[in-house]
Structure 1
Amino acid sequence: MDTTAERWAMLEPHTQHVGPDDDRARPAVLLFHAAGGRAHLPLYAEAAKAAGIRAFIIDSFGARGWSRAFALATVCTGVRLRGWARAGDVMAAIQGLSQRPDVDGSRLGLAGWSHGGWAIMEALSAPREMAGEMLLRDPAAADLSGVKAVFLAYPYVGVAATGRFRPWRHCPKTLAVIAARDHLTTVRNAERVLDVACGHVEIERWTVDGTHAFDEPTGAGPMRHDQA
């Protein structure tokens, strides 16, 4: 367990910035990778840059000294760093990046793929009332009011996500991408989770005819890359 500032101190050296080459305080999107691949995230970051937005790719595993092979063996299997624990990374990144002079902390977006989406959903729904939540001593330190948008790509909403039916306490505008042939969840389950997330605030959904991680070029097993 650590403070939000300490968590950010761990993450910051492993955070990649992609954005316009200036010092203007611009909107920013924080990208949280999946438990497996992350090779495609720079493509999303470049799209944000082209729109005049700063993008920050936060490497939760590199910050912990974990290789991709180690993450596949432990995080993908649910042994290490479940979504509720990684939610602390989300909070720390929000707090740390919103303090940068080249970031407009009142206009932030969160983007998460699979495990990264799980972490974001846990962060948005956490009570943040007691020390120890999200493995943070000060879980309420980060100000979520600046988070105006969320993008969830095939977020993990399986049985290990025990808090998946917990309503969000902060409900920004959200787009959720559901993979019709996701081996980790049915479309019905994903829809049910999204139905309770924000109550009266409807979450925009896009169901694609693809597998889990369809946008990732290094797909394996039941996951198939779909360039289109």
Structure 2
Amino acid sequence: MSRLRRLGGFVAALVCAAAARAESEVSFPSLDAPRGQAVVLKAYWHPVAAPKAPAIVLLHGCGGMHGRNGRPSERMRDYAQWLNGEGWHVLVVDSLTPRGERELCTQRNGERAITQTNRRLDAQAALQWLASRPEVDAKRLGLLGWSNGGSTVLAATNRKHRAVAAAAVQPSLAVAFYPGCESELRRGYEPVAPLLMLVGEADDWTPAAPCHRLAAGASQIEIEGYAGAYHGFDSGAPLRLRREVPNGVNPGQGVHVGGDAQAWAASRARLQKFLKAH
């Protein structure tokens, strides 16, 4: 039996490696069109071999899509590979560099050049692009985002936005890791699809409490909070204080960011369960 398990793991690794080799750069217009000229978005497309497979959009945080080597970050590559293994096409969308920005984390809230409206329009355009693909099951489309990208997930699934309610292409599910929930909480949140939020209870950047309140006031929302976990808990990075970040629970004092092995594993299992259920 152990030999069979090892063989299965080897085959799975080959499948994931093949999926990674199939990665390609794509571009498409955002629904964001300042002065009538659409922003042309850049993205990485990670398809699977199965016909008519579900597809999901990955939305980066305020640090952007790229790592130091100019390629998609380790988190994006890890999730794309894992989601491919779960049978999902993956589209990783870059909202920053097409607009001339590298990161938003050190910019104060309210002064950022790229807003949630911009990013919501990007997410909606990405869903339209997926729905147009012959290999995609347009009835099973998802949004998955982290931090600022998680807030984008909330904005792009809130029926209180007229453009979201009127959209011809809607997601069938949505997932937000440690999003900022205050804006959609103030607006009033009515999801167009089932939503899973995964939050760190010790998060001092995008606190968990507003997300719990948002979940309590709306249907179709599931939320999991991880005790002692900080922002960015789904990684192997050591916990550190980012003093250059001006926002957060204690403005001017920085925010804590870092991985939590237990929360990471639990959130991955919870994400898998949610995807299978929807």
TM-score category of the 2 structures, normalised to the smaller one: 0.7 to 0.9
**TM-score scaled by structure 1?**
0.77
Question: Quick check: 1:112 aligned with 2:145?
Answer: yes
**Please, which of 206, 215, 223 is the counterpart of residue 205 of structure 1?**
223
Question: Quick check: 1:192 aligned with 2:213?
Answer: yes
Aligned residues: 207
Matches within 5 A, 1:99-138: 99-125=132-158, 127-129=160-162
Q: 1:74 corresponds to which residue?
A: 107
Question: 2: CA distance between counterparts of 1:186 and 1:5?
Answer: 29
Are the aligned partners of 1:27 and 1:108 in contact in 2 as well (CA < 8 Å)? yes
**TM-score scaled by structure 2?**
0.65
Are the aligned partners of 2:131 and 2:169 in contact in 1 as well (CA < 8 Å)? no
Deviation digits for residues 53-93 of structure 1, max 9, x if unmatched?
Answer: 1011111112223224xx33337775222223311111111
Q: 1:87 corresponds to which residue?
A: 120
**Please, which of 30, 37, 59 is the counterpart of residue 94 of structure 2?**
59
Question: 1: CA distance between counterparts of 2:32 and 2:138?
Answer: 16
What 5-or-longer segments of structure 2 have no aligned partner?
Answer: 1-28, 66-72, 242-255, 263-278
Q: 1:36 to 1:104 in 2, by over 3 A?
A: same
Question: 1: CA distance between counterparts of 2:52 and 2:39?
Answer: 21
Larger radius of gyration: 2
Deviation digits for residues 127-153 of structure 1, max 9, x if unmatched?
Answer: 454xxx69xxxx945421xx1111110
Question: 2: CA distance between counterparts of 1:8 and 1:96?
Answer: 14
Question: Quick check: 1:32 aligned with 2:32?
Answer: no
Give the AA of the match of 2:173. Answer: A
Deviation digits for residues 152-193 of structure 1, max 9, x if unmatched?
Answer: 1001124xx2x3333444432221101111113443322112
Alignment RMSD: 2.9
What SS does the corresponding residue of 2:224 show, helix, strand or coil? strand
What SS does the corresponding residue of 2:149 show, helix, strand or coil? helix
What 5-or-longer segments of structure 1 have no aligned partner?
Answer: none
Seq. identity, %: 24
